[in-house]
Chains A and B, each alone.
Chain A
Amino acid sequence: MSDQLLWFTTRGAGIVSLILLTAVVCLGITTAIRWQSSEWPRFLTAQLHRNIALLSVAFVAVHVVTSVIDPFTSLGWAAALIPFSSYYRTIWLGLGVISMELTLAVIVTSLLRDRIGRRVWRTVHWLSYAAWPLGVVHGFGTGSDATAVWMLAIQGGCVLAVGLCVIWRLETDRSARRRAEIDARGDVVPWV
């Protein structure tokens, strides 16, 4: 067991990272949509979005560090930082590396938001829509537990959650645009 401790830690931290980052994406979309209810103010969504994102950094770090120092694969640090440089499962690991680096870019620019300005920050923030799916594909492609029933359920749940949030956002944007067009035309027809 003890010689496999790192390996189990890698797997566990990867799964927790997936769940946390899924929550982060969903909360980010919920912030953008401006959803709120009487029990759930908007700042709560935004603050959870931020805090869970910061928490996920710790789990991703554990996931990466334990997989590098685990002697079983002897990946080396280059494999963890340079996409597609790993001899071991080159493609799947490479996608994970890209996902991690995009996520890191999104988080660092968010922390420096005040200094780099809103436009740069927003632009980089859109990368989340690339980072999250890459992470999912990485997990599905190379995760040791990827085809276990419980893990399929977790992955399916995560994809479903983000998928629904994206549809929700597109629908909200569309109806907002329609409302804006009607407002801009200003042709209120009172007799209809």
Chain B
Amino acid sequence: MAHVITIDRIRCDGYGMCAELLPEMIELDDWGYPILRAGPIPHQLVSHARRAVDVCPVLALRLRTAVPANARS
């Protein structure tokens, strides 16, 4: 089961903590807002992703389980 992070752009206030905790997947643009790397989160990073989601002061991040495209009926 693959995990993906989604960002609620309206909520995001650019605190930038997600990029500190998950630099492998998230970097910040010039204004401090996150840019997500495309694709599912590698297995070994899921716990870090969870922390990044957890620390967001405005609850703008969600960790979702994505159904792989080839598993859809």
Over the window 31-73 of chain B, the binary record of Cβ atoms lying under 8 Å from chain A Cβ atoms (1 yes, 0 no) is 0000000000000000000000001011100000000000000
Q: Interface range on chain A: under 10, 10 to 19, 20 to 34, or 35 or more? A: 10 to 19
Q: Mark A44-81, 1 if CB is under 8 A from B, else 0.
A: 00110000000000000000000000000000000000
Within 8 Å by CB of A41, from B20, B57, B59, lies: B20
Would you call A177 an interface residue if the criterion is a C-beta within 8 Å of the partner chain's C-beta atoms?
A: no
Could you say which of B15, B17, B55, B59 contacts A118, with CB atoms under 8 Å apart? B59
Could you tell me if B11 and A43 are in contact, using CB atoms closer than 8 angstroms? no
Interface membership of chain A positions 95-135, coded 1 if the CB is closer than 8 angstroms to chain B and 0 otherwise: 00000000000000000011001100000000000000000
* SS class, residues of chain B in contact with chain A: loop
Q: A118 to B20, Cβ gap below 8 A?
A: no
B21 within 8 A of A: yes
Find out whether the CB atom of B15 lies under 8 angstroms from the CB atom of A114: no
Interface residues on B, range: 10 to 19
Cα–Cα distance between A125 and B15 once the two chains are bound (Å): 18
Q: How far is the CB of B21 from chain A (nearest CB, A)?
A: 5
- For residue A179, CB closer than 8 A to chain B, the reply is no
What are the residues of chain A within 8 A of B20 when measuring CB–CB? 41-43
CA distance A117 to B59 in the complex (A): 8
CA distance A167 to B58 in the complex (A): 23
Does A31 touch B at the CB level, under 8 Å?
yes
> Which one, B11, B15, B58, B59, contacts A42 given CB within 8 A?
B15
Selected contact of B17 from candidates A32, A43, A113, CB within 8 Å:
A43
Residue A34 at the chain B interface, CB threshold 8 Å: yes
Query: What does the 1/0 interface line of B1-42 toward A look like (CB < 8 Å)?
Result: 000000000010001110011000000000000000000000
Residues on A facing B (Cβ under 8 Å): 31-32, 34, 41-43, 46-47, 113-114, 117-118
B interface with A by C-beta (< 8 Å) = 11, 15-17, 20-21, 55, 57-59
A-B residue pairs in contact (CB < 8 Å), sample of 6? A34-B16, A41-B20, A42-B15, A42-B16, A43-B21, A46-B55
